[in-house]
Amino acid sequence: MSSKVIRIGTVCELTGLTERQIRYYEEKQLIFPHRTRGGARTFSFEDVDILKEIHLKMQDGFHTFELRKTFSRHQVRS
């Protein structure tokens, strides 16, 4: 579950998010995908679950700075 092998296109299909939304969450340090040598982002199934939760909380009115406190503690940066 924690192996980062899922490409961003598949993550979009699994979460319903756009690539731009996922990149935004990365920019805001809410999610930390692995980067391949070619620069492609890869995610784990845990990341997919976290992205779904982040998106729901954002829809509920949370701000990225509030979520960063919660989600950054649970992420392993690679």
Q: Could you tell me if 5 and 46 are in contact, meaning their C-beta atoms sit under 8 angstroms apart?
A: no
The CATH-assigned architecture of domain 6-74 is Orthogonal Bundle (1.10)
Distance CA 75, CA 16 (A): 21
Main-chain dihedrals φ then ψ at residue 6, nearest 5 degrees? -95, 125
What is the pTM assigned to this prediction? Answer: 0.85
pLDDT of residue 78: 45
Identify residue 47 by its one-letter amino acid code.
Answer: D
Each residue's pLDDT tens digit, 11-66: 999 999 999 999 999 999 999 999 999 999 999 999 999 999 999 999 999 999 99
Q: Where are the domains of the chain?
A: 6-74
Distance CA 21, CA 25 (A): 6
Q: Of 13, 4, 71, 68, whose CA–CA distance to 41 is shortest?
A: 4
